[in-house]
Chains A and B, each alone.
Chain A
Amino acid sequence: NSKVIQTPRYLVKGQGQKAKMRCIPEKGHPVVFWYQQNKNNEFKFLINFQNQEVLQQIDMTEKRFSAECPSNSPCSLEIQSSEAGDSALYLCASSYRGPYEQYFGPGTRLTVL
């Protein structure tokens, strides 16, 4: 069973507002991933970290999305100016090494009104 913790579970924002969500990876897992799952069950990879360093990220993330995984603090994903199309389930996963056995948290369900 996954021990990835995500908060908050639900987030409701108006268009243009900031939305911030947090993730605590499983203990001992240095690799952290953020994915977006939309209502059509389409997944979009957003960004991943190894310890505090960004490994991969998509172009969209560089514009309105920002993320960090500081030492000794939860990882976070922030949308600077929310849009209706950002409404989705945001999933954080962690792994011990590389892409292998990524364990997912419960997700943060973002609704942008």
Chain B
Amino acid sequence: GEKVEQHESTLSVREGDSAVINCTYTDTASSYFPWYKQEAGKSLHFVIDIRSNVDRKQSQRLIVLLDKKAKRFSLHITATQPEDSAIYFCAANMGYKLTFGTGTSLLVDP
């Protein structure tokens, strides 16, 4: 079946540095790519998304890049803060449903 692969299972950065999480997808029909944050014991929190009609989107400290040719997308968190520490999930749509990566545990050291 169609898959979304999240390449970094863990990522550790120093406060103030940038963090980059990379994902690839297999379904050429995917057109919507959201990112979610999950803190310990909590549910998924929507953080940012990108649609296939653009290749870059920024919301404050978050930047999402999309390379449709390579079927790759990435989340860049700039000027990281300790409260950014969480598990981040990428996803891609297949029709209405989302297929998720298996998460990247980001630790921001103060």
Residues of A at under 8 Å CB distance from B?
2, 31, 33, 35, 40-43, 45, 48, 50, 55-56, 91, 93, 98-107
| Top 7 A-B pairs, shortest CB-CB distance | A99-B93, A43-B100, A45-B97, A104-B44, A41-B103, A106-B43, A99-B96
B95 touches A56 (CB 8 A): yes
**Distance of A44 from chain B, by nearest CB (Å):** 9
Interface of B is mostly: strand
**Distance of B64 from chain A, by nearest CB (Å):** 14
Cα distance A24–B105 when bound, in Å? 30
Residues of B at under 8 Å CB distance from A?
32, 34, 36, 42-46, 49, 87, 89, 93, 95-100, 102-103
Residues of A near B42 (CB, < 8 A) are 106
Given the known inter-chain contacts A2-B45, A100-B49, please indicate yes or no for A41 contacting B96, CB distance below 8 A. Answer: no
Cα distance A44–B100 when bound, in Å? 8
19 examples of A-B residue contacts, CB within 8 angstroms: A2-B46, A31-B96, A33-B96, A41-B102, A43-B100, A45-B97, A45-B99, A48-B97, A56-B96, A91-B43, A98-B93, A99-B93, A99-B95, A100-B32, A100-B49, A101-B46, A102-B98, A105-B43, A106-B42
Q: For A105, give the chain B residue with the smallest CB separation.
A: B43
B98 touches A45 (CB 8 A): yes
Cα distance A43–B34 when bound, in Å? 14
| Contact among A33, A41, A42, A107 for B97, CB-based, below 8 A | A33
**Distance of B93 from chain A, by nearest CB (Å):** 4
Given the known inter-chain contacts A40-B102, A41-B103, please indicate yes or no for A98 contacting B43, CB distance below 8 A. Answer: no
Q: For A102, give the chain B residue with the smallest CB separation.
A: B98
A107 touches B98 (CB 8 A): no
Q: Which of A45, A50, A55 has the most CB of B within 10 A?
A: A45
Cα distance A92–B43 when bound, in Å? 10
**Distance of B38 from chain A, by nearest CB (Å):** 8
Residues of B near A41 (CB, < 8 A) are 87, 89, 102-103
**Distance of A100 from chain B, by nearest CB (Å):** 6
Residues of B near A103 (CB, < 8 A) are 46
Residues of B near A2 (CB, < 8 A) are 43, 45-46
